[in-house]
Chain A
Amino acid sequence: MIKVSHLRKEFELSRQQKKELQTTADKALAVDDLSFECQPGKVFSLLGPNGAGKTTTLRMLSTILTPTSGEIEIAGIDAIKYPQEARAKIGFLTGSTGLYARLTPLEIIDYFAALYQVPFKEKEERKKYLFDLLNMNDFLQKRIGKLSTGMKQKVSICRTMIHNPEVVIFDEPTSGLDVITAENIIQLIRDCRDQGKTVIFSSHIMSEVDLLCDELAIVHKGKLKYRGQMSDFRQNMEASNLTEEFIRIVQH
């Protein structure tokens, strides 16, 4: 489960950033008083246009960034007080994540299993399960630099799931992927939900959200614009389709 209350994140602006943004302010507000809950066995979607604060929010949930204020609870752990313990419960996957090009998939998976301190027997079982599931056995010994985008994405998925996390965070996971490769991710999100994991994923593609999510939050300029069940969203929408309804809410 993920509990977020009154989350706020300010960034100090460098001289260069001030120049680029044409502002004299010393700080920029990326996330402003965000509160929501994600339940186990459900997919929670964070929807918003580019620059809405989705990535910043998910980076705070995964403890890469420290919030300016607010509270985060990950699987019952206070993520601000005990970030390392919280990280052990999280699997994090972003569309922009790179892999170590000079290592092989097997080496990467072993490396991350060691970082998550997965016991040997459990690691071997998880590896076998994931390699078979993702059909990875043919390229386990090849260097990442020589793999196709689809193969790399499979390695990223395997890396995210090797420690069987309770909470899975996806930050625009299908961004830049072709339909067939993106399908692997969509299937992974469904599997996570079916296994009773807490899933949160960010996207700016409404069709993807429609396909997967149970609960929805729309953010714009760091503020929460809408929060509710996906079924309620569909039922109560004022525009003719989901994308237009999303645009209407953001611009409102």
Chain B
Amino acid sequence: MIFTIFKKELIDTLRDKRTMRTMLLIPLLVFPIMLTIFVNVSSSFEKKASEEKLKIGVWGDLGAKYWNQLNEMPNGLGKKELKSFEDSLALKKAIEEGEIELGLIVPKNEAELARTKQTIPLTWLFDASSVGRQERAESYMSYLTEKAETVRLKELGVDATKLHPLVPVYKNCASDKKMIGQLAGGILPYIFIAFGFIGCMYPAIDLFTGEKERGTIETLLTTPISRWQILVGKMLVIVSSGMLAATCALLGLFVSIEFLDIVHNEEILKIVHGILTPMFIISLFSLLLPLVVFFTGVMIPIAVYAKSFKEAQSIITPLNFVMVLPAMIGFFPGIELNAMTAAIPVVNIVLATKELISGTLSFGYYAISLGIMLLLATLAIVVSYKQFGKEARILN
């Protein structure tokens, strides 16, 4: 009997254009579209930045020395055009007016400082509101510093290696898989929560509030089936919709990575392919399922309580933000799944998913997270059943 209700409600739901849009189309297309736009915009910015010819103004009596060195600089450090200035005020004004992008001030006593082997302060002027100016100045400065150091060490007759007794060598012991999991793993649970919630929303409202509004619930209640059978049948459709929406979003993300050429690093692609094992997918869905059942259980009492589609939507939509907010936790590195975080609903799923990608998920915390979510999902079902049993709620 539950299957009869499930089948009918599924057909009904799949024929609803609004539900289909939020359940299939949007989740499926959002990542390919979003990532295509992102990649195109960022690559066009990169291209523009690399092709941008920076105008550098140089001032100082001995500016010529640095002028030459800057001129000799390889174009790999960025294209540039040099311009000489008569005074520092004119140089500053030119930056303010956007005539030049960087300004270099060489001190008047530069020759004296060089002769006496003292530090020579080179002042760089730039407009910090323009992105990348300081970085460009820093890269030019390290070029000039290297040149100056070589000259001075030669004058002093010192071997450069003798000046640096300690050379730090930093080696990352974390696997690439762990790195990807910790740094980029937050996106996956976010997709789960955002699209799982949206996927449940319209079917929940349509199958309960909608049925009340259209006057079909009364007929259904006169048939010889129990209310819990009706509830379970409808609930299964809502859960399926949530799962389908989340799956479509994941599929969209996978298609984007696989076919849209957004990941150029072969190593990362290899790791992504390595992560996507059947066991990983099963574990992922075992985390997603209780989360979606929980969402469904939260939405049904609201949908049963509401008298109109609009009213249900106005209550459930703000709830979306409450649910999606903990999903942001996944974007912060350093927050790990432990005995405490495993007991916080939604947050536990976010962190468990992250650790699942990293391959660091411990079975104990996984079990606690799953247990907590299953408990909440059961509680949500009980509340839904009680609400659905109330005469005043189910008949408008």
Chain A residues close to B by CB (< 8 Å): 11-12, 14, 59, 62-66, 84-85, 87-88, 90, 92, 94, 96-103, 107, 111-112, 114-117, 159
Contact = CB atoms under 8 A, between A and B. Distances in A.
A178 to B, nearest CB: 19
Interface in B1-41: 1, 4-5, 8, 11-12, 15-16
A225 B215 CA distance: 30
Contact of A103 (B8, B221, B391): B8
Contacts of B15: 102-103
B392 A12 contact: yes
The 3 residue pairs across chains A and B that have the minimum distance between CB atoms: A98-B215, A98-B214, A88-B224
Contacts, number: 71
A115 B218 contact: no
21 contacts: A64-B221, A65-B395, A84-B224, A84-B226, A87-B224, A90-B222, A92-B219, A92-B222, A94-B215, A94-B218, A98-B214, A98-B216, A100-B214, A102-B11, A103-B8, A103-B11, A103-B15, A107-B8, A115-B220, A115-B225, A116-B223
A102 B16 contact: yes
Contacts of B1: 115
Contacts of B11: 102-103, 107
Interface in B351-396: 391-392, 395
Interface string B72-108: 0000000000000000000000000000000000000
A112 B224 CA distance: 10
Contacts of A64: 218, 221-222, 391, 395
Residue of B4, B216, B218 contacting most chain A CB atoms (<10 Å)? B218
Interface residues of B, number: 23
A109 to B, nearest CB: 12
A111 B219 contact: no
Contacts of A85: 224
Nearest to B389: A66
B12 A100 contact: yes
Interface of B: 1, 4-5, 8, 11-12, 15-16, 214-216, 218-226, 391-392, 395
Contact of B224 (A101, A117, A159): A117
A91 B395 CA distance: 19
Given A96-B215, A100-B216, A115-B1, A84 B225 contact: yes
A101 B214 CA distance: 9
Contacts of A159: 219
Residue of B15, B16, B221, B223 contacting most chain A CB atoms (<10 Å)? B223
A84 B215 CA distance: 21
B219 A97 contact: yes
A66 B391 contact: yes
A115 B1 CA distance: 7
A87 B214 CA distance: 22
Nearest to B390: A12
A95 to B, nearest CB: 10
Nearest to B17: A102
A60 to B, nearest CB: 10
Nearest to B221: A64
A250 B223 CA distance: 34
Contacts of B216: 97-100
Contacts of B221: 62, 64
Nearest to B395: A64
